[in-house]
Each structure stands twice: as C-alpha cells, then as structure tokens.
Amino acid sequence: MFSLNCKGRLIEISSPVVMGIINITPDSFYSGSRKPAAEQAVEQAGKMLAEGATFLDIGGQSTRPDSQWLDAPTEWERVEPALKAILEQYPDALISIDTFHASVAAQAVAAGAVMVNDISGGQLDPGMLETVGRLGVPYVCMHMKGSPQTMQQLASYDNLVLEVMDYFIERMDACRKAGINDLVLDPGFGFSKTIDHNFQLLKDLSVLKQLGLPVLAGLSRKSTIYKTLGIGPEEALNGTTVLNTIALQQGADILRVHDVLPAMEAIKLTNKLAGTGFNT
C-alpha cells in the first residue's frame, strides 16, 4: 500500500486507482479528450468523478510528438479558467496539473491543485524539482528523452528497461534532495519510445516495482495501440482496456486514462482475479 499526502489529505492506494485526463487543448492527439472551454472541462470532470476517478489530470498543452511548444504564461492562460471552474463545482476534487513549467505548477497548486505531473522529470525546467519540493505536493516523474519536439528521434536504447531504471534511480535522488517526499514513477509509454519499446516496457513493468514507489501507466488510446491494430485513437478503447489490464497485472498502481469507467471495471476484475476481496 502507498499513501500520497495531497496538501494535507492522505490518499491511500491499497488498490489501483484511476487518473482521468482532461486536456484544455485544441490539438491533443485524441479529439475526445479536448475540452478547451471551462464548461466542457467541468462537465467532463463531473462525469469522471461519478465514474470513480481518484485524480483528475489537467493539462494545457499537447505533448504528442511534434506538438507545438507553449510558454508558461500561455499554458497557464489556458488552464486557469478550467481549473478554477472545476474546483468551484467540485471542491473536493484531487487535481493534478500536467505541466513541465515550474511557474505553472506553482500557480496551479496555489489555485487548488494537489499534485504535479511532469513529463520531463524536471529536465525541461531546472526550477521544477525545487518548486515541487517547496510546494509539498506529490510529483509524478516520467521518463522521456529530449522534448516532445525531439523525443522520437531519440528512441534508441541498448537495454531499455535497465536505462529506464537507471534514469529513475538518478531522478529519485534528485527529487529527494529537492525535498519531494511523495513520488510516483511513470515509465512514459510513447515518449521517446518505439511501439516495440512500449510493449517491452509493458511486459517488464513489474521490474519498476523494485524501486518501492507507486507506478503510473499512461497507455490510453496511444499510437502503440491504434497503429498496431490499424485503427485510429477514436477506436482504441478496447485496446486500451487490454493493455491497462496487463499493466495492472504487472503492478501498475495508477491508470491514467481518457475513459474512466472501463478502467475502473478493469481494476475490479483484475482485483477479483487476484483474490484481493474487492467488494462491490
């Protein structure tokens, strides 16, 4: 069991939980996740919370390959209205801010977010780790090489799983030195990795559990699924559920998804299969 101190609220993860994705963007790879207007974000938040999401992950810029880079003021201008509107309607919602800008993280936490989710593990903004340590909130540290604009040119490894492990060992030390107490590891499916890399990482996901920290799996509707199946992201829900189920069997503690209810059902069924005594 893991616990995360979310600004004084202790969230215990004794069974896997779901993080719902809300993109305040016009250009995220899956069109169904785009909620650029605050009222759309509030509606999506309500649906996800009703379906069982523990966390809501709100982001203001797409991080798909070759996406447009937004500076911090522009990103915050996108995110702020939706973040505040969601918390006004759902004041108990646990909001994660999906950003690699330290200033956006600080503004979001000041506005009520309780977690920072950084695709760069603190490597795109040198002030990020110190900022999160000062804020005292949990930090999702993801593995990626380069930036969203360069990452797919850097998808080369001698030993993928070993290199990801080494990356996390180094980042864990940097996070601890920055004062970050609650850390979640995200192997970064689809970030500076080929389709084969992603399947290898999923197959060996349980290796990351040796680090003694909760592991987040973000596989939802990604190209690993839809390119393998010869479909588009709009048709990739079934494939997402299949890979989420495998991730759960490999020890994933948090599923980051566009579709909360199917993820909750996958958790319930895998828990039942594992004999954990999940109560309906």
203 is catalytic: no
User: Element (H or E) spanning 87, and its range?
Assistant: helix 72-89
12 in Cβ contact with 214 (< 8 Å): no
Which residues 6+ apart lie within 8 Å of 37 measured at CB? 82
Residue tagged active-site, from 35, 171, 221, 256: 256
Contacts by residues 152-161 (CB-CB < 8 Å, ≥ 24 positions apart): 152/65, 152/66, 152/192, 154/192, 155/192, 155/193, 155/194, 155/197, 157/197, 160/193, 160/197, 160/200, 160/201, 161/200, 161/201, 161/204, 161/207
Residue type, 10: L
Residue tagged active-site, from 171, 193, 221, 222: 222
7 is catalytic: no
How many Å separate Cα 237 from the centre of its chain?
17
Q: 132-146 as b/e, with b when 16 or more CB fall inside 10 Å?
A: bbebebbbbbbbbbb
Query: What interhelical angle do 195-203 and 237-249 show, nearest 10?
Result: 40
Q: How far apart are CA 114 and CA 94, in angstroms?
A: 6
Active site residues: 222, 256
